[in-house]
Amino acid sequence: MPTYARAALEFERGEGAWLFTPDGRKYLDFGSGIAVNVLGHSHPHLVSALVGQAQKLWHVSNIYKIPEGERLAERLCALTFADRVFFTNSGAEALECAIKTARKYHSANGQPNRYRIITFEGAFHGRTLATIAAGGQQKYLDGFGPKVEGFDQVPFGDHAALEAAIGPDTGAILIEPVQGEGGLRPVPPQCLRGLRELCDKHGLLLVLDEVQSGVGRTGKLFAHEWSGIRPDIMAVAKGIGGGFPLGACLATEEAAKGMVAGTHGSTYGGNPLAMAVGNAVLDVVSAPDFLERVRETARDFAQRLAELKDHYPDIVEEVRGSGLLIGLKMRVANTAFVAEGREQGILTVGAGDNVVRLLPPLIIGEPEIQEAYRRLDATCAALRSAQAPAKAS
Ligand SMILES: *Cc1c(COP(=O)(O)O)cnc(C)c1O
């Protein structure tokens, strides 16, 4: 189905932060398959994990024990607030599990009426029927029949509206610590702490969507760690598989208490191939100093981007985001910037609010930052000269 507006560009192979076309052109990949390839392309440790597992066993189903999955779940729990993990194949499925877990929790407590979940304008939680209802964006809901019941949306950053939306049937608050598709709007740490307090006061579960912000992207393993809070439930995907389709829903034992045998399932979720790659990603991302290096890289890149904005205030209005989850708010159309970036050999991704996303692999260093700066500078210069004649006339 022609559901994607694809660029006329294809790649044959990738290495680190670089992608190569069949005719030998190379592109600096600062989109990472939309925040997925955290370790870049063809990372040797991931390749050997995938190939090694492929030669042993691909799939057995969740009828049986999957030791690599138990190991990945235990490691994720050791590294986070969580006690329980459910593996999925995508972000939307991780959100579906998070939503079901929150609803089931209140049902298990004898309050099945508390199935309503508060979400925020500009949010993106996926493209399934429930997650388009949670995201609340009309363009994704249009034509797909009645919106799934039970989501109440409030404006981003409006505390009074949030408090007013909490009713007797509210069971949870669902939020991205940094809005990704919505335009790289971070939730300030004090606001996340405020949300935690509000949830505790009203007996609500705090559900975080860290599908885009997680797995080291902001310089912490998960973005909410910057605020010091602990959620009750968290959806993860994108970076966790480094390019292999993998997602996870993490929860505390208490929040997951309704999710007993038979309540949820997935045929592929957590299969041996995905688990082998997930463990391999975690080997690298959780190694000592890896995240410290991401934070340093992010600081260096932020400095260069501030320079870019100073040189081209007519093109770049603002640099925002967190770590290597970066948004350039544009004064020109973000689509024009992304297209010109491709001409200059750098791949970026558009987002809402006229933002261009820069989501480099977390393994980049000084040479890639220099190269990115050069190409972004060339992109801005080309857009400026394209604008100049129009201004003169
Ligand atoms: C990408 C994304 C999703 C959906 O993930 P899919 O794997 O495309 O289903 C959900 N939430 C956020 C914040 C995302 O960025």
Closest ligand 1 atom number to CA of residue 181: 15
* Pair 242, 208 in one domain: yes
**393 belongs to a structural domain:** no
Q: How far apart are CA 198 and CA 192, in angstroms?
A: 10
**Could you tell which of 88, 125, 213 is best to mutate to test the pocket of ligand 1, judged by most ligand atoms within 8 Å of the CB?**
125
**Could you tell which of 97, 131, 140, 211 is best to mutate to test the pocket of ligand 1, judged by most ligand atoms within 8 Å of the CB?**
211
Q: How far apart are CA 183 and CA 327, in angstroms?
A: 7
Whole-number Å distance, alpha carbon 390 to ligand 1 midpoint, is 39
Whole-number Å distance, alpha carbon 212 to ligand 1 midpoint, is 7
Provide the CATH number for the domain around residue 96: 3.40.640.10
Handedness of CA 246, 71, 229, 32 (dihedral sign): negative
Q: Are 111 and 99 in contact (CB under 8 A)?
A: no
Whole-number Å distance, alpha carbon 217 to ligand 1 midpoint, is 14
Q: How far apart are CA 187 and CA 263, in angstroms?
A: 33
**3 belongs to a structural domain:** no
Q: How far apart are CA 134 and CA 94, in angstroms?
A: 13
Whole-number Å distance, alpha carbon 320 to ligand 1 midpoint, is 20
**7 belongs to a structural domain:** no
Q: Which of 255, 285, 315 is the last residue of a domain?
A: 285
In this structure, which amino acid lies at residue 210?
Answer: E
Domains identified in the chain, total number: 2
* Pair 211, 281 in one domain: yes
* Pair 241, 128 in one domain: yes
In this structure, which amino acid lies at residue 22?
Answer: P
* Pair 228, 159 in one domain: yes
Q: Which of 285, 301, 329 is the last residue of a domain?
A: 285
**8 belongs to a structural domain:** no
Nearest residue CA, atom 10 of ligand 1?
125
**4 belongs to a structural domain:** no
Whole-number Å distance, alpha carbon 211 to ligand 1 midpoint, is 6
Q: How far apart are CA 154 and CA 84, in angstroms?
A: 29
Q: Are 271 and 72 in contact (CB under 8 A)?
A: no
**Could you tell which of 93, 124, 174, 187 is best to mutate to test the pocket of ligand 1, judged by most ligand atoms within 8 Å of the CB?**
124
pLDDT at res. 388: 76
Closest ligand 1 atom number to CA of residue 131: 10
Whole-number Å distance, alpha carbon 23 to ligand 1 midpoint, is 32
Closest ligand 1 atom number to CA of residue 95: 10
* Pair 279, 182 in one domain: yes
Tokens 């509206």 belong to which residue?
161
Q: Which of 261, 285, 309 is the last residue of a domain?
A: 285
pLDDT at res. 389: 66
* Pair 119, 81 in one domain: yes
In this structure, which amino acid lies at residue 214?
Answer: G
Domain membership of residue 234 as a residue range: 44-285
- 115, two tokens: 């199935």
Indicate the SS3 state at residue 110.
coil
* Pair 88, 174 in one domain: yes
**39 belongs to a structural domain:** no
pLDDT at res. 393: 47
pLDDT along the chain (393 residues), means of 10: 96 98 97 98 98 98 98 98 98 98 98 98 97 97 98 95 97 97 95 98 98 98 98 98 98 98 98 98 97 98 98 98 98 98 98 98 98 98 86 50
Closest ligand 1 atom number to CA of residue 128: 9
**295 belongs to a structural domain:** yes
Q: How far is CA 98 from the centre of its chain?
A: 15
* Pair 61, 192 in one domain: yes
Closest ligand 1 atom number to CA of residue 213: 13
Question: Taking the CA atoms of the chain, what radius of gyration do you get in angstroms?
Answer: 21
Q: Are 166 and 118 in contact (CB under 8 A)?
A: yes
- 92, two tokens: 């939307």
Burial class for 297, CB neighbours closer than 10 Å (0-12, 13-18, 19+): buried
Q: How far apart are CA 234 and CA 84, in angstroms?
A: 11
Nearest residue CA, atom 6 of ligand 1?
91
Closest ligand 1 atom number to CA of residue 238: 7
**24 belongs to a structural domain:** yes
- Ligand 1 binding site (Cβ under 6 Å of any ligand atom): 90-92, 95, 124-126, 176, 180-181, 209, 211-212, 237-238
Tokens 């030998």 belong to which residue?
24
Q: How far is CA 387 from the centre of its chain?
A: 33
Phi-psi region of 261 (alpha: psi -120 to 50; beta: other; left: phi over 0): beta
* Pair 160, 269 in one domain: yes
pLDDT at res. 261: 97
Nearest residue CA, atom 15 of ligand 1?
212
* Pair 151, 281 in one domain: yes
Closest CA to 179 of 327, 26, 300: 327
Enumerate the β-bridge partners of residue 330: 316
* Pair 212, 225 in one domain: yes
* Pair 228, 348 in one domain: no
Provide the CATH number for the domain around residue 303: 3.90.1150.10
